[in-house]
Amino acid sequence: MIQSAKENDAPEGFNPVTIGGIYATRSGPLFARWTGEHMLLGFRVQPYHVNPANQCHGGMLALFADMFLSTAALYQTDMARHFLPTISLQTDFLAPAPLGAWIEGKADVLRKTHSLVFVQGLVCADGLPILRASAVFKLGALISDDAENQTISRESAPRASTA
């Protein structure tokens, strides 16, 4: 098990990305990559992410769940980019994630209506499930894809080869 790692130490194929506002950005860095039709989002647990037991803080994992579920809603559907206020977020903590662990989230969009998106996903630490999450997001205002809005382009998170 990794006890400490550089914050930009991500598995092969993951590229740095910026999503969310200042609060979310300061909680990173985050990394993304495409595998099949899923965008995976991840980060390395750093000293500023842990609780007194040197495990990733539940608040950080809940923030991460909100980010990776909403990111899936935006990038794994064919809808225009919207601000997605969180209506509901449920988390089930399954196991701890130690300092230095690689955290990775994978989500599925279950349903999109004219005003809501329903998403569920699983977070793993070094390949072991640690968090189950589901969320409902409201389709808010349309947002542009300019740099000021910190979009993840498909180029910044290239799709993995499916061959």
Class of domain 15-149: alpha beta
Going by pLDDT thresholds of 50, 70 and 90, the confidence category of residue 7 is: low
The answer to whether residues 88 and 135 touch, using CB atoms and an 8 Å cutoff, is yes
Edge-to-edge strands of the sheet including 128-138?
A: 15-17, 30-35, 38-44, 102-112, 116-125, 128-138, 86-93
Where is 66: in which H helix or E strand?
Answer: helix 58-75
Q: Tell me the mean pLDDT in the region 3-29.
A: 76
In tens, the pLDDT along 100-145 reads: 999 999 999 999 999 999 999 999 999 999 999 999 999 988 887 6
Going by pLDDT thresholds of 50, 70 and 90, the confidence category of residue 156 is: very low
